[in-house]
Structure formats: C-alpha cells, structure tokens
A and B are shown apart, each in its own frame.
Chain A
C-alpha cells in the first residue's frame, strides 16, 4: 500500500515541501490562478524522486521553489534543513550553487564551447582557471564527452547537449540535482541513455535527484519514489513500485495507461461499457508481483471460477528492479462467476481493477 512519506525524519530529507501554495496574481489578460495548493512532500536523501503530472499541473512551479527561482505564496520549502524563504539574495545564490539543475531545452550558451559551458558555474562561483580546468575534465569524462570539449553546442546532438547540461549541473559538486523535463525533447533511445546516466550519478555520487516529467516511462525507469500531481495538488505518492501496482487515483491510472503493455486492444476498448447487462463479460485488470508472479495463476483461476476466462492483454515488466505483471482478462459478469473470481483474487492477494463490461 502507498505509505505517506511525511514521517521521514528531517535528517534523511533532502527537500521538504511543507504545505506549500503558489498563487499567481492576475496580470494583463490572465486571470489569477493557483498553481500549487497545500503541497506537502518529502524527498529522501539519496533517492531519485519523480514528480509526474500533465502539463499545467504545477510541477514546473514546484521544482522552481526548491532553488528559489519561484517564491511560495504560502508554506515553506526546506533544502537540507534550510528554509529557502528565509534566505536573502546572497544566501539564495549560495544555495543555488549547491543545487544543480538541468532543463528540457538544455539552456547551453551557444557562444561557449562544451568546456566553457561546463566551466560557467565555476566561473560564477569565482574559481580560478586552473582549478576549473581540474574540475571540468573529469566531468566531461563522466558524461562521455571528453573528446568534444572544444566543440560548440550547435555541433552536438540533443542527447550530447543534455550530457553537457548534466556535467554543468554537477560542476559545483551539488548534493541535489533538479531535472526539469530533461528528457522530454529527446527520442526514446536517447532518453534511456540520459536516464541511465542519471541513475549512475545517483549511485556513484550519492546525489539526490528530483525530477519532473509527464512521461510514466521516465518515472518507471529511474525513480525510487514518485508523487503524482494534478491541478496543483499531490494526489498520490509513495514508492514507485507501490504507486504503479496499486494506483488509486484516476490521474495516476490515466498516466499509467499510456505505458506500453498497459493499453487495451482498441476493439475491446471501444466496446467497453460502464455497467453490465445480462450475458456480458467483465473486463478486469490483474496486477501481480512478488510470490504471485511465480504461481500458475491462470490455470488456478479457470479452475476456481469454473468458467472460461479470456486473456485480452498482458505484460511482464520491471519497476525499480522488481518484476511485476499486468494481465487483462474477461469472464462472465454474472453474480456467481464474479463472486468466485473475486474470492480467488483476494485469496491470492491480487490487485484488481474492473475496467468495464463487454457484450
């Protein structure tokens, strides 16, 4: 089950959002609106935490509160125990130098070489040239672009640009990395390689990563924890595996349904009805993991239901290194069959979701 993570002690927390709200005042033709409403969330130190939501859900605002690029209208944000709202401009600059950030559109300076871009935050911090040199070289090695140090961003591919963005974000040796839709402008393959790099950095440098995305694939691939945000509120949060396998909120399910293997065949999806008529069949999604994944569930299901069971869709996948399966089946919607099936599911600890009914 999804556990509220607020009981994590402050010592383990990299970032704490405490009842944060953000309202934007009306300006020009835009009406006032609430981007974030009473958001509380803890980002555990050393975790890769994802915040997922549709565009306009408030996730960009949320991540910008961490390094003070936006100021909350209410509530507090703590980074390593420091109240961001209490910092003056100089304090904020110090904080920002200890928090790296990468962006959807990379935001590299076109006028600087790869080396110059990675060196920029160090120049800003006032480091001398030789120390900068010593710091930048190993970073370019880390992201695999040492041979490109004299190139300009326009000469690089999107994936290479994001690697430079990552090297730049790591230059000041931060403890926390903020990722603002860092893979949204990249193709799926490049996305995977960038995520792999983030995972390596997290493991090797012990860096906490807070990332926002609208792609479940990203959350599934790298995060240990996830929060789902919708209309400025956190609607679901917990360990990524739990949220994926026990999604409760409709927004989470909608985001999950975009994942490969989760989609119903189109013909079935079209015929789906919300209520059963006599003779209809129930379409049910079963999610199984752990011990349940190793038992011959289908044959047992057919035996205990005593009627035919159709398999409509299915996938076996891995989240955070744990295997889980998702199976969509159909069986008679009459009270007797359904009753038997439900009994079987609860006895075996399967998570079920009735998707609808078909004739």
Chain B
C-alpha cells in the first residue's frame, strides 16, 4: 500500500476519533441530565413533572426512531447555523451529537431506574434534598451502569460516524466507501474495517474494565 494511502487512512482514523470524541462528549453531557430527568420526573418521584416527562420522552423517541442518515440531511439547516457549513468533519459532528443525546439519555434513564428504591427512601429519611439524592445516591450507585452506557454510546457512535460520509463527513467509513468500494480497492476496505474493529474492541474492553472497577456489588467476603 502506498504511503499516500497510509496517510489517508491515518487522517481518516483521526477524523473518526475527533468526531466520536466531540459528539460523544457533548452528546453525553447533554444526554445525562435528560436521562436523569426522565428517570426521576414521573408521578410521585423526586422531581414530579409527569407532563414534561411525557413531552421529553416523546421528543427522545422521535429522534431515536428517525433513521440516522435521514437525521443527517434533515438537520442540515441547523448544522449550517452552528458550524457555518453543511459538509466536512466539523459539520458531521452536529448530527452525531444530536443522535447521541437521546440514545445516551435512555441508557442513563434505565441505569438510574435500576437502582433500588429503598436507597432513595433511606436518603429521604436522612433528610437529603432531591439534588443530594441525585448526586450522592443515584449517580454514585449507577456509576458502573453509566460507564457501560457510555461505552455502548461510543461504540454506536463509531458506527454512525461511518454514515456521515454522505455529507462529506470524512472519517473511516467515508474512506472505505470512496476508495474501497467506489474505486475497487479491497485492501483499503479491509484496512478500514480492521481499524474500526480494533477501535471498537479497545473502547469496549476499556469500558468493561472501568465498570468492573466501579462495581462493588459482587465482592467476595
């Protein structure tokens, strides 16, 4: 393989990492409070607001059920507003972030709903404020599950990032399509796929390891 091609692959890898890192960071930072809200705002819960809960749930579902490739083109005006352009890696970060928010929010919601209600009651009985319950009980207890949720989100993002080639997003997926498929260069395709597999493996095993370290529930006596 020519040095030029290797350079292309290296650049595409960096583009993918950049898109995934920024969209993952921004998306999960926004998704986390939304997920917490979804898990705690039902009737009789910490921040009861059942109507807003339903409304947010609806928006989250709508975003999640829109195929990603359609989301990418549908929000081009928004993308242009934020980044000043609708093509390129920078532009691709916007739809990736938008897709990450509801995905991560639902995972956060599930992680928090999984926490024993008895712990919330115990904290209330200690005189904790709802915010103290969120930070000292819910987020602390959900940390292993949240770590796995973030891992799953990043892995999905790596997959989604391959689709933003459709708007000139760059990255590994884009490279694989343009060189590997359209220019009949199966070796490029192979390298792209291998790099993606390695990336996903690295992320997954790092996440698993971290989650295990946070999880104090299955210790032996």
Q: Does B113 contact A (CB under 8 A)?
A: no
Q: Does B10 contact A (CB under 8 A)?
A: no
Please indicate the chain A residues that have their CB under 8 angstroms from the CB of B123 in the complex.
120, 124
Please, which residue of chain B has its CB at the minimum distance from the CB of A157? Answer: B221
Cβ proximity bits B132-148 to A, threshold 8 Å, 1 near / 0 not: 10001100110100000
Query: Do B217 and A109 have beta carbons less than 8 Å apart?
Result: no
| Cα distance, A85 to B47, chains bound together (Å) | 20
| Cα distance, A241 to B206, chains bound together (Å) | 62
Cβ proximity bits A136-159 to B, threshold 8 Å, 1 near / 0 not: 000000000000000011111100
Q: Which of A92-100, A258-266, A276-284 contacts B (4 or more CB under 8 A)?
A: A92-100
Query: Do A107 and B127 have beta carbons less than 8 Å apart?
Result: no
Q: Does A121 contact B (CB under 8 A)?
A: yes
Q: Does A112 contact B (CB under 8 A)?
A: yes
Q: Does A101 contact B (CB under 8 A)?
A: yes
Please indicate the chain A residues that have their CB under 8 angstroms from the CB of B118 in the complex.
103, 105, 107
Q: Does A342 contact B (CB under 8 A)?
A: no
Query: Do A110 and B217 have beta carbons less than 8 Å apart?
Result: yes
Please, which residue of chain A has its CB at the minimum distance from the CB of B132? Answer: A124
Query: Do A69 and B124 have beta carbons less than 8 Å apart?
Result: yes
| Cα distance, A118 to B137, chains bound together (Å) | 13
Q: Does A67 contact B (CB under 8 A)?
A: yes
Query: Do B127 and A94 have beta carbons less than 8 Å apart?
Result: yes
Query: Do B216 and A107 have beta carbons less than 8 Å apart?
Result: no
| Cα distance, A95 to B124, chains bound together (Å) | 11
Query: Do A107 and B141 have beta carbons less than 8 Å apart?
Result: no
Q: Does A111 contact B (CB under 8 A)?
A: yes
Query: Do B125 and A101 have beta carbons less than 8 Å apart?
Result: yes
Give residues 154-204 of A contacting B (CB, 8 Å): 154-157, 168, 172, 178
Q: Does B4 contact A (CB under 8 A)?
A: no
Give residues 136-191 of B contacting A (CB, 8 Å): 136-137, 140-141, 143
Please indicate the chain B residues that have their CB under 8 angstroms from the CB of A120 in the complex.
123, 126, 136
Please, which residue of chain A has its CB at the minimum distance from the CB of B125? Answer: A101
Q: Does A308 contact B (CB under 8 A)?
A: no
| Cα distance, A145 to B120, chains bound together (Å) | 25
Q: Does B214 contact A (CB under 8 A)?
A: yes
Question: Per DSSP, are chain B's interface residues mostly helix, strand or loop, or mixed?
Answer: helix
Count residues of B near A (Cβ-Cβ below 8 Å): 25
Query: Do B127 and A109 have beta carbons less than 8 Å apart?
Result: no
| Cα distance, A168 to B127, chains bound together (Å) | 13
Q: Does A123 contact B (CB under 8 A)?
A: yes
Which range holds the interface residue count of chain A?
A: 20 to 34
| Cα distance, A121 to B123, chains bound together (Å) | 8
Q: Considering residues A92, A110, A112, A154, which has the most beta carbons from chain B within 10 angstroms of its beta carbon?
A: A110
Q: Does B202 contact A (CB under 8 A)?
A: no
Q: Does B45 contact A (CB under 8 A)?
A: no
Please, which residue of chain A has its CB at the minimum distance from the CB of B142? Answer: A111
Q: Does A125 contact B (CB under 8 A)?
A: yes
Q: Given known contacts A103-B118, A154-B217, A155-B219, is B141 in contact with A109 (CB within 8 Å)?
A: yes
| Cα distance, A157 to B136, chains bound together (Å) | 24
Q: Considering residues B122, B140, B143, which has the most beta carbons from chain A within 10 angstroms of its beta carbon?
A: B122
Query: Do A125 and B127 have beta carbons less than 8 Å apart?
Result: yes
Q: Given known contacts A111-B141, A120-B136, is B216 in contact with A101 (CB within 8 Å)?
A: no
Please indicate the chain A residues that have their CB under 8 angstroms from the CB of B220 in the complex.
155
Q: Given known contacts A101-B125, A124-B132, is B219 in contact with A109 (CB within 8 Å)?
A: no
Contact of B122 among A95, A103, A111 (CB under 8 A): A103
Please indicate the chain B residues that have their CB under 8 angstroms from the CB of A110 in the complex.
141, 216-217
Query: Do A96 and B125 have beta carbons less than 8 Å apart?
Result: yes
Please, which residue of chain B has its CB at the minimum distance from the CB of A153? Answer: B216
Query: Do B140 and A96 have beta carbons less than 8 Å apart?
Result: no
Please, which residue of chain A has its CB at the minimum distance from the CB of B141? Answer: A111
Please indicate the chain A residues that have their CB under 8 angstroms from the CB of B129 in the complex.
93
Please, which residue of chain A has its CB at the minimum distance from the CB of B116? Answer: A107
Interface of A with B (CB < 8 Å)?
A: 67, 69, 92-97, 99, 101, 103, 105, 107, 109-112, 120-121, 123-125, 152-157, 168, 172, 178
- Top 9 closest A-B pairs, CB basis? A96-B127, A107-B122, A97-B127, A93-B127, A121-B126, A152-B216, A107-B118, A101-B125, A154-B219
- A-B contact sample (13 more), CB < 8 A, given A96-B125, A111-B141, A154-B219: A96-B124, A97-B126, A97-B127, A103-B121, A109-B140, A111-B140, A111-B143, A121-B126, A123-B136, A155-B219, A157-B221, A168-B126, A178-B125
A-B contact pairs, 12 of them (CB 8 A): A93-B128, A96-B126, A99-B125, A107-B121, A109-B137, A109-B140, A109-B141, A110-B141, A110-B216, A111-B141, A112-B140, A152-B219
